[in-house]
Amino acid sequence: MNRQLKFFEAIREATDQAMERDPAVYIVGLGVPDPKGIFGTTLGLQEKYGTTRVQDMPLSENAMTGVALGSALVGMRPIITHQRVDFALVAMEQMVNQAAKWHYMFGGKAKVPMVVRMIIGRGWGQGPQHSQSLQAWFAHIPGLKVVMPTTAHDAKGLLAAAIEDNNPVVFIEHRWLHNISDEVPEEYYTVPLGSARVMREGNDVTIVGTSYMALEAVRAAERLRADDVSAEVIDLRTIRPWDVETVLGSVRKTGRLVVTDTASAAFGVSAEIVATVLECEFASMKTAPVRIALPDHPCPTSPALSNHYYPRADHIVRGVQRMMGIEPTTDMPAMTPHQKLDVPDPSFKGPF
Amino acid sequence: MNRQLKFFEAIREATDQAMERDPAVYIVGLGVPDPKGIFGTTLGLQEKYGTTRVQDMPLSENAMTGVALGSALVGMRPIITHQRVDFALVAMEQMVNQAAKWHYMFGGKAKVPMVVRMIIGRGWGQGPQHSQSLQAWFAHIPGLKVVMPTTAHDAKGLLAAAIEDNNPVVFIEHRWLHNISDEVPEEYYTVPLGSARVMREGNDVTIVGTSYMALEAVRAAERLRADDVSAEVIDLRTIRPWDVETVLGSVRKTGRLVVTDTASAAFGVSAEIVATVLECEFASMKTAPVRIALPDHPCPTSPALSNHYYPRADHIVRGVQRMMGIEPTTDMPAMTPHQKLDVPDPSFKGPF
Amino acid sequence: MPQLFDSQLHFKLYKEMLRIRIVENSIAEHYGEQEMRCPVHLSIGQEAAEAGACAALERRDYVLSGHRSHGHYLAKGGNLKAMMAEIYGKATGCAGGKGGSMHLVDIDAGFLGAAPIVGSTIPIAAGVAFASQMRDEDRVVMVFLGDGATETGVFYESVNFAALKNLPIVFLVENNFYSVYSPMDVRQKGDHRIIDIARAHGVEAHQADGNDLDLVYQISSKAVNKARAGGGPSLLEFITYRWREHCGHGYDNDIGYRTEAEFLSWKERDPVAAYERKLIARGLATQHEMDLMANELKQEAEEAIAYAKQGPWPELDTLSSQVYAN
Amino acid sequence: MPQLFDSQLHFKLYKEMLRIRIVENSIAEHYGEQEMRCPVHLSIGQEAAEAGACAALERRDYVLSGHRSHGHYLAKGGNLKAMMAEIYGKATGCAGGKGGSMHLVDIDAGFLGAAPIVGSTIPIAAGVAFASQMRDEDRVVMVFLGDGATETGVFYESVNFAALKNLPIVFLVENNFYSVYSPMDVRQKGDHRIIDIARAHGVEAHQADGNDLDLVYQISSKAVNKARAGGGPSLLEFITYRWREHCGHGYDNDIGYRTEAEFLSWKERDPVAAYERKLIARGLATQHEMDLMANELKQEAEEAIAYAKQGPWPELDTLSSQVYAN
Ligand SMILES: Cc1ncc(C[n+]2csc(CCOP(=O)(O)OP(=O)(O)O)c2C)c(N)n1
Ligand SMILES: Cc1ncc(C[n+]2csc(CCOP(=O)(O)OP(=O)(O)O)c2C)c(N)n1
Ligand SMILES: [Mg+2]
Ligand SMILES: [Mg+2]
């Protein structure tokens, strides 16, 4: 069929189809039914499903997370949305002490099928409080699942799977992916949680990426062909549980590992991937592993600074070159604020 | 002088001396002036410093964290206490979006000298919501510092240093350390944040431990002598910033790394230590690294289960033996609930 | 709702209240054996509020609670043996030993769960009520909380949401004057009344003597009936007193946060003794009948403890199971 | 507090209000150039509440704010050039470019900081007031928040704490009916009034027309004086209206969350025009004087923009500095 859909449309379609299939599914969040519809992902749903199944809410993220949880206990399947990961920080108690633990701590008597959508802001001066990437926090908590789709296809299938799942699933969307298109089947389908996607096969180095950084990894792999390096790119897709087997299998083949993540390297998801691979495949490794992720400080607002805050394909290329003892073929492009690196592509205009 | 002091007394002494030296220091927290005095750590302070500098508070941890922050902005030096890490989950927004970022995001114009004391519960059925160990969360956040003392000596010196520090410092106390004694000088002193302590020197393997697990590591090192293994034990003491140089130096010598932490291994502090060491010292490593930390599920309440939840010296010994290809000399003691492994020593009685 | 001046009802209310007293006393007696290896928060002294409020509910209604939940669990019809076994950490416990005293659950009885992070189950209860409303079910939710819990932000957020949506929920506050050892005056302004705050949100609210079993039952019944009829949420604040230490089985009037005299004045207002006097005065029960019942209940409690003690420990393979639901 | 019916005061108030209008208009005019590369939340339409409230403060007093803070920063005496440079992301900005529009600060002027996580600066402000009280200083703290922020748990927790401690703080609510595009009726029950909730906590509270500059000033002055005299906290709710889109520089009455008619009815209640009519009617200023002032202010705003544009970018080494204070 070759139907192209944008990532945000794929999210909407998955929600729509899930709501159609199961009357227990409902969606609640600040601005869900508003004219912007969470970056377009919820547009039209209230018209179709009414004001009970598609709801706005008070500015009370912690209580509303509890409300979603409570409704899930008795059979509803809530989706709760946060326009920034940062806003969800007020809801950590409900997410971590409660949602993650009710199944275990009641000996299996309770279950909490809920999806918590969170968006990672980036660019256009989102700054220190609108751009955090806290997947490592959620991944550290047994009882939660954590999903970070990269492609529109996976966004649809993973969201459908998250909604079908009988556990609390944190579904993290990177703002710079919302307008990226790819082929998305019209019919309902799921992509199983916990399986990675090999985006590109290769033999010399394994690059594991999360979310938007998986795209930068693909770009890096293309550039590395000039150095005769064949890079395998793995989009992790699910952070918890993550697809250990696919990653280990790749590393057994390549003997080299680069991990690139949208969050800080320090105590982040990339550390866990590196640690697990080195514990399990030390003998296969030809070189030290490399992490390409955010530096260890908050995100500044000025484009002159934030443009240098985010790693890009170049950094990945450099990492691989260093690891393989290759003299850099390309100079890292000097960056100036005039390059407008704080927007993903010309279709994206500030302020949001 | 050889004065012996318990860890909880050392905490109290550091607080007392800091309050005496600096009128800007005050302490607030649920139960701070009550008859139990936060496991004895605040006993007598209100009598000495009055009801303004030693305060109880409403059951409002999020706002009170903001209150501490606000007072710090204008020159106070608050200490806020939480009797469990788990309770502090309601305060993540203030800790992470605010306290950690005000210095950076205002271009250095603001500073937030505050200490947030949190206690990790363990044993006597603390269960899923009273025993979490979330140092990895705080360590992932630039702008915070994270301290986990193991000895009474360090508890005093690190708390004094944390209070002197001009940044938000998360100070995590393990409940099973409160009654452990060692030599503690009477006079005021600080132990610099960011420096590890080599608790035992050795040549064959480096065991890095945090908090209570550093003690288990010392026990393991003693047992390993029977296998002719000389283990170096490093008590990390500060988790952020951590003492990379001391750890790398040790690994350069031993070529082997075990990391043991009080939290889940998955996406935890132990992953960061392993990842950094492998990135920096891949060539020095003789074997794959090993993590000995909590399994990837919540803490159960029944002693029959929780006794098997927590790793102990045996697990560390086993890890080293496996790593070095040594046949186990000792059998892992079979555990039954009757062993009362849910209490640290006979002086410790439930329920708290 | 059964008729109030029906002698059977009186006896039923009395029995529910007495049962909590007797079970809690049994726990207190055995706790020193150090076989119940988890924190327990006894509600001796507060039984009238717990029994009276739950008696207003139907079995299909739901209850959620916090750290001090034994009484709510029992009053809602939770299985006693499963509760004891849970406190003893046994496989036969209501949560398979994973929860302990602070995490009781009995889905069949409509006791959806208790959790000890103060304030946390309040929005969860609102969510259950929200689901009930969305599905047009005929169920009411009651959530128990203490005076301390009314200081948590999530409590206010939940009250606002319940008012906004007109949810079928009753916020049931047992005000026992203390949050652990912290008295009111370090936590709330002198003239602060939680019912005023609820009313300001447009939530009907009443404050009453929580040691008066009939009164608690009457007020709770009205609130429950109103909620069931689509009349929306209520907040009920019952004034009462915890006799034993905050956590554990002993007394702690000697440690300094409250006086022995205060405790004794509340002991004189013992809800159980008061109701016994009332039943006798009104000729609704004889001392003999009440003694018989007490004996029966004591036996039931001791049987539950014996059941708990002899129950098997959870299998080791349950340690890492039930992390995720299928 | 200067005398209210002093013509200089009227003119000062007017100037502060007009200054906000003109600066915000200048930002709106230039925003389309896409050189201010950060979200901006303009407060055009709400200037009377902002100027009138801040005029009640002394310079040594403190203000904190949220995402929509330009007006508060200016009214408290924050440096205009440093604000513009901050919005342009320049090294000369008040936060060295690290903060942007949502993180203004001017310590010297007593504008301690703004942060856009809704509700978050409320307890921080309470903490500043707490410090002021602990040190027996003669300072008052004013924290600005919106109607949406009154739904956050931390707001209630802060009000409770302020009441408990009798803190020298004024909670200043600008109620503009919307939280982004969400109207009141999806967030709060119909008869819900935030002043009732504050009063239930024992906090004096008043609701008034936020577009009436003199009234705002009068009410705010009383609250500030009361706080300074040790009389404790107040909550003031000023009803007003945001003209422009929630975030950004355009108008958004067409997208469907509010009507053009509603907007126009509020535009008729323009606080600036109303005050100009009043000044003229009372003979306190002439049109000519006001025009002169507007021109001056416009020039000042454009100079600030020019200053911001030509300022240097932050040095790259500041990217990773200032993470920790020494
Ligand atoms: C968020 C949180 N903070 C602190 C605690 C510790 N704690 C346990 S019970 C309790 C007191 C609660 O008081 P109240 O709500 O009045 O209930 P009561 O114990 O009087 O029944 C506290 C502070 C907790 N469990 N959760
Ligand atoms: C905790 C949190 N949730 C959501 C948001 C997104 N957000 C930014 S401004 C805003 C609306 C705030 O409304 P109000 O307090 O009335 O202020 P106004 O914008 O009307 O001035 C929201 C929801 C946020 N910044 N923080
Ligand atoms: Mg209480
Ligand atoms: Mg508003």
pLDDT at position D169: 99
Q: What does the pLDDT look like over C42-53, one tens digit per residue?
A: 999 999 999 999
For residue A298, give the nearest of B143, B268, B278 by CB distance: B143
pLDDT class for A342, splitting at 50, 70, 90? Answer: confident
**Cβ pair D97:A304 closer than 8 A:** yes
Residue A123 and residue A202 in one domain: no
**CB neighbourhood size of A192 (10 A):** 12
Question: CA nearest C104: which of C72, C143, C149?
Answer: C72
pLDDT class for A174, splitting at 50, 70, 90? Answer: very high
Question: CA nearest C188: which of B224, D164, A306?
Answer: D164
CA distance C87 to C104: 9
Residue A13 and residue A112 in one domain: yes
**Cβ pair D126:B70 closer than 8 A:** yes
Q: Is the peptide bond before C233 cis (omega within 30 degrees of 0)?
A: no
pLDDT class for A335, splitting at 50, 70, 90? Answer: very low
Tally B–C CB contacts below 8 A.
140
Q: What does the pLDDT look like over B288-313, one tens digit per residue?
A: 999 999 999 999 999 999 999 999 99
Residue D1 lies inside a defined structural domain of this protein? no
Structural domain count, chain C: 1
DSSP label at residue B100: T
For residue B58, give the nearest of D164, D318, D325 by CB distance: D164
Cβ < 6 A, ligand 1 pocket: B 30, 59, 61, 83, 87, 90; C 67-68, 116-118, 146-149, 176, 178-180, 246
Residue B294 lies inside a defined structural domain of this protein? yes
User: Closest residue of A to D66, CA-based?
Assistant: A129
Asked whether the predicted pLDDT for residue D4 surpasses 60, the reply is no
Q: Which residues contact C95 (CB under 8 A, 6 or more apart)?
A: A105, A106, A107, A109, B301, C86, C103, C104, C105
Structural domain count, chain A: 2
Asked whether the predicted pLDDT for residue A349 surpasses 70, the reply is no
Residue A164 and residue A290 in one domain: no
Asked whether the predicted pLDDT for residue A2 surpasses 90, the reply is no
The verdict on B127 touching C (C-beta cutoff 8 Å) is yes
Residues of D in contact with B162 (CB under 8 A): none
Residue B205 lies inside a defined structural domain of this protein? yes
pLDDT class for D230, splitting at 50, 70, 90? Answer: very high
Residue C323 lies inside a defined structural domain of this protein? no
Active-site annotation holds for B130: yes
Residue B328 lies inside a defined structural domain of this protein? no
Asked whether the predicted pLDDT for residue A44 surpasses 80, the reply is yes
Angle at B324 between CA B321 and CA B326, to 5 degrees: 55
Q: Which residues contact C299 (CB under 8 A, 6 or more apart)?
A: none
Residue B226 and residue B312 in one domain: yes
| Helices (runs of H) and strands (runs of E) counted in chain B | 12, 14
- Average pLDDT of the residues in B239-261: 98
How far is the centre of ligand 2, averaged over its atoms, from the C-alpha of D237 (Å)?
A: 17
Residues forming beta bridges with residue D187, ordered by sequence position: none
- Average pLDDT of the residues in A162-180: 98
- How far is A286 from chain B, CA to nearest CA, in Å? 9
Residue A37 and residue A156 in one domain: yes
**CB neighbourhood size of B296 (10 A):** 18
Q: Whose CA is nearest to atom 11 of ligand 2?
A: D179
CA distance A273 to A263: 13
Q: What does the pLDDT look like over B150-206, one tens digit per residue?
A: 999 999 999 999 999 999 999 999 999 999 999 999 999 999 999 999 999 999 999
Q: Is the peptide bond before B328 cis (omega within 30 degrees of 0)?
A: no
- Average pLDDT of the residues in D294-308: 98
Asked whether the predicted pLDDT for residue D3 surpasses 90, the reply is no
Residues of B in contact with C117 (CB under 8 A): 86-87, 89-90, 129
Asked whether the predicted pLDDT for residue A348 surpasses 70, the reply is no
Domain with B49 in it:
4-183
CA distance D237 to D144: 10
User: Closest residue of B to C41, CA-based?
Assistant: B351
Both structure tokens of B65: 């964290």
pLDDT at position A344: 83
Asked whether the predicted pLDDT for residue B140 surpasses 90, the reply is yes
In ligand 1, the atom with minimum distance to the C-alpha of C118 is: 26
Domain with C184 in it:
6-307
Residue A188 lies inside a defined structural domain of this protein? no
Asked whether the predicted pLDDT for residue A16 surpasses 80, the reply is yes
Asked whether the predicted pLDDT for residue A333 surpasses 90, the reply is no
pLDDT at position B340: 75
pLDDT class for D2, splitting at 50, 70, 90? Answer: very low
Q: Which residue has the tokens 């490093």?
A: B234
Q: Give the DSSP H/E element, type plus range, for residue D296.
A: helix D287-310
Residue C312 lies inside a defined structural domain of this protein? no
pLDDT at position A343: 84
How far is the centre of ligand 1, averaged over its atoms, from the C-alpha of D187 (Å)?
A: 29
In terms of phi and psi (left: phi > 0; alpha: psi -120 to 50; beta: otherwise), the region of C256 is left
Q: What does the pLDDT look like over D139-193, one tens digit per residue?
A: 999 999 999 999 999 999 999 999 999 999 999 999 999 999 999 999 999 988 9
Question: Pairing state of beta strands D178-179 and A77-82?
Answer: unpaired
Q: What does the pLDDT look like over D5-16, one tens digit per residue?
A: 577 899 999 999
DSSP label at residue A187: S
Contacting C residues, span 149-168, partner chain A, CB-CB under 8 Å: 153-154, 157-158, 160-161, 164
Question: CA nearest B190: which of B228, B126, B147?
Answer: B147
Residue B51 and residue B73 in one domain: yes
The 3-state DSSP class for residue D77 equals coil
CA distance A269 to A134: 9
CA distance C110 to C60: 6
pLDDT at position D191: 87
Residue B212 and residue B144 in one domain: no
Residue A179 and residue A203 in one domain: no
pLDDT at position C283: 92
Residues of C in contact with D199 (CB under 8 A): 196, 200
Residue B25 lies inside a defined structural domain of this protein? yes
CA distance A165 to A182: 25
Question: CA nearest B19: which of B56, B41, B45, B51?
Answer: B45
Both structure tokens of A299: 């995100």
**Cβ pair D95:B109 closer than 8 A:** yes
For residues C53 and C172, the answer to whether their CB atoms sit within 8 Å is: yes
Residue D256 lies inside a defined structural domain of this protein? yes
Residues of D in contact with A352 (CB under 8 A): 39, 247-248
For residues A117 and A213, the answer to whether their CB atoms sit within 8 Å is: no
**Cβ pair B128:A105 closer than 8 A:** yes
**Cβ pair D257:A300 closer than 8 A:** no
A61, A173, A216, A272: the active-site residue: A61
DSSP C120-162: THHHHHHHHHHHHHHTT----EEEEEETGGGGSHHHHHHHHHH
CATH code for the domain of D284: 3.40.50.970
pLDDT class for B330, splitting at 50, 70, 90? Answer: low
Residue D315 lies inside a defined structural domain of this protein? no
CATH code for the domain of B305: 3.40.50.920
Q: What does the pLDDT look like over C69-108, one tens digit per residue?
A: 999 999 999 999 999 999 999 999 999 999 999 999 999 9
Both structure tokens of C175: 């005000």
DSSP B44-64: THHHHHHHHHEE---S-HHHH
Residue C194 lies inside a defined structural domain of this protein? yes
Residues of B in contact with C247 (CB under 8 A): 351-352
Residue A25 and residue A122 in one domain: yes
In ligand 1, the atom with minimum distance to the C-alpha of C152 is: 1
Q: Which residues in chain C show pLDDT less than 70?
A: 1-5
A130, A174, A178, A315: the active-site residue: A130
Residue A143 lies inside a defined structural domain of this protein? yes
Q: What does the pLDDT look like over A52-62, one tens digit per residue?
A: 999 999 999 99
- Average pLDDT of the residues in A161-187: 97
Residue A333 lies inside a defined structural domain of this protein? no
pLDDT at position B335: 47
CA atoms within 13 A on the CB side of A339: 11
CA distance D153 to B54: 25
Residue A167 and residue A308 in one domain: no
For chain D, give the percent of residues with pLDDT over 90: 97
pLDDT at position C191: 87
Residue A164 and residue A218 in one domain: no
B9, B13, B61, B173: the active-site residue: B61
How far is the centre of ligand 3, averaged over its atoms, from the C-alpha of C242 (Å)?
A: 8
CATH code for the domain of A76: 3.40.50.970
Residue B134 and residue B44 in one domain: yes
User: Which of the residues C197, C199, C203, C204 would you substitute to probe the D interface, choosing the one with the greatest number of D C-beta atoms within 10 Å?
Assistant: C197
Q: Please give the torsion angle defined by the CA atoms of residues A62, A63, A67 and A72, in that order, rounded to the nearest 10 degrees.
A: 30
Q: Which residues contact A232 (CB under 8 A, 6 or more apart)?
A: A198, A200, A201, A202, A203, A205, A206, A207, A221, A250, A253, A254
**Cβ pair C154:A93 closer than 8 A:** yes
DSSP D243-264: -S-SSBSS--TTSSSS-HHHHH
**Cβ pair A97:C94 closer than 8 A:** no
Residue A342 lies inside a defined structural domain of this protein? no
Sign of the C-alpha dihedral computed for residues B86, B87, B90 and B96 taken in this order: negative
**Cβ pair D189:C201 closer than 8 A:** yes
User: Closest residue of C to B56, CA-based?
Assistant: C186
User: Closest residue of B to C156, CA-based?
Assistant: B60
